[in-house]
Amino acid sequence: MHHFIYPEFDTTIYQASESRNTGLDEILEIEKTMNQSGGNVRVSRALIKFELEEITKGIARGQIASDAKYYLNMYDANPQELSYSQSLFAYPISASWVPGEGFRADNPKTMEGASWNFRDGLTGKTYWLGADESAVSSSGGAWFQNVFGSQSFNHQTRDMRMDVTPVVNKWLDGTYSNDGFIVKRSGSLGNLSIDVPEGDDTRLGNFSFFSRETNTIYSPRLEIEWYDTKFSTGSLSPLSSTDFDDLQIYMKGLRPEYKEKSIVKFRLVGRNRFPTKSYSNTASEYLTVKYLPSGSKSQIGGDGAYYSVIDEQTDDVMIPFGSGSVISCDSTGNYFNFRMNGLQSERYYKFEFKIVSGSGTDEETIQFFDDDFIFKVVR
């Protein structure tokens, strides 16, 4: 299962403009700029906060698994001159901050709200200070450095889907107060004693991601993924190796539209496209339901049936094949439960299915099915 939460607020803080607030900008930037000679390094960092009450209540009610994984999703907004391979890190911020209502292009600049120098703006002048001795504190934010998420990027990978499970778990168990993420390169300006892409003279380019203020479908999201698959076949028979030779997948009762807050149980059927006729059986082979391969929590990507969700217009993958998209089975056939809340309303999406059989053997088959399983999410 997947569930998504959208940001409460976000902003970018810029070293080159130490008191400027950009809390309403449509873009979040993680920059590293310098002059022609390679000196005068200037960086920016992104701050982003999600409200976690929905997760806390969901876990308490048994609606979200306690061992769920958490991913920070941020989407490419035309980065500039990125080097071939580098990494970004997300640390838990160690002090509260005010998002503000400024734009980078404001003239005169907006100076109320979080900036490089202050957590709250020029009036309050509350400097960035760590909550305790384990936190890094300086201009440019304050964060706990002993727990973090990270992701490597290259020319083919520009969107972020960063595993931030260790950070979110620290918030959920009360170790740290939830003051959001600071997203940055490693290290810290002026501290070259550790691995510091921020502070050395290497040109790395500028990451740009859409913010919560974007007018596109690419707002940042905190993705919650957990294994919710149940597999009980009753008296059903499995699909045979012959069935997999010419497998056909179809969805039972797929409707054209679903409300944005719906939780839907989708039924999925697999069968041989042209089943062999048997005169010893009066039931039509076209009507006989057989079950797809069962998945395993310990072997995600191995034998099993998986679903993915794709934006029908852009072909962006909204939900990937993984541990949160393994298809279940009961005595009437295969199914999966799906929460519509993670998808933008008034848009069309499509399901794609991946069927893996005989994993790890010479008989392994991996088949994909994308047969116009299209639906719309409506308000």
Domain boundary, last residue among 166, 201, 225: 225
- Residue 260 and residue 363 in one domain: yes
What's the CA gap between 202 and 204, in Å, rounded?
6
Domain assignment present for 323: yes
The pLDDT of residue 200: 73
How many CB atoms lie under 10 A from the CB of residue 363?
Answer: 10
What's the CA gap between 115 and 12, in Å, rounded?
8
Domain boundary, last residue among 175, 196, 225: 225
The pLDDT of residue 271: 87
Domain assignment present for 230: no
Maximum pairwise Cα distance, the chain: 86
What's the CA gap between 219 and 211, in Å, rounded?
6
- Residue 173 and residue 218 in one domain: yes
Q: Report how many domains make up the chain.
A: 2
The pLDDT of residue 117: 93
- Residue 185 and residue 267 in one domain: no
Cα-Cα-Cα-Cα dihedral sign, residues 49, 47, 220, 305: negative
What's the CA gap between 80 and 63, in Å, rounded?
41
The domain containing residue 219 runs over which residues?
A: 2-225
Rg of the chain in Å (alpha carbons) = 24
Closest CA to 329 of 308, 311, 352, 305: 305
The pLDDT of residue 194: 43
Q: Is the peptide bond before 108 cis (omega within 30 degrees of 0)?
A: yes
Tokens of 289: 């339901």
- Residue 103 and residue 151 in one domain: yes
Domain assignment present for 232: no
How many CB atoms lie under 10 A from the CB of residue 62?
Answer: 8
- Residue 246 and residue 274 in one domain: yes
Q: Are 211 and 104 contacting, i.e. CB atoms less than 8 angstroms apart?
A: no
- Residue 274 and residue 209 in one domain: no
Q: SS3 helix, strand, coil % of the chain, rounded to 5?
A: 10, 40, 55
The pLDDT of residue 137: 63
Closest CA to 49 of 104, 5, 113: 5
- Tens place of pLDDT for every residue, the chain, 379 residues? 999 999 999 999 999 999 999 999 999 999 987 776 666 678 899 999 999 999 999 999 999 999 999 999 999 998 777 877 888 999 999 999 999 999 999 999 999 999 999 999 999 999 997 555 566 666 899 999 899 999 998 876 789 999 999 999 999 999 999 999 999 998 765 444 345 678 777 778 889 999 999 999 999 999 999 999 999 999 999 998 888 888 999 999 999 999 999 999 999 999 888 766 665 555 555 568 899 999 988 889 999 999 999 999 999 999 999 999 999 999 999 999 999 988 999 999 999 999 999 888 888 899 999 988 999 999 9
Tokens of 42: 């200037």
- Residue 245 and residue 287 in one domain: yes
- Residue 75 and residue 208 in one domain: yes
- Residue 102 and residue 199 in one domain: yes
- Residue 63 and residue 138 in one domain: yes
Helix (H) or strand (E) segment spanning residue 169:
helix 165-172
Identify any residues that bridge with 91 across adjacent strands, giving them in sequence order: 182
What's the CA gap between 200 and 177, in Å, rounded?
32
What's the CA gap between 9 and 6, in Å, rounded?
9
What's the CA gap between 365 and 294, in Å, rounded?
14
- Residue 206 and residue 251 in one domain: no
pTM of the model: 0.91
Domain assignment present for 267: yes
The pLDDT of residue 193: 39
Domain assignment present for 102: yes
- Residue 172 and residue 299 in one domain: no
CATH number at residue 275: 2.60.40.2840
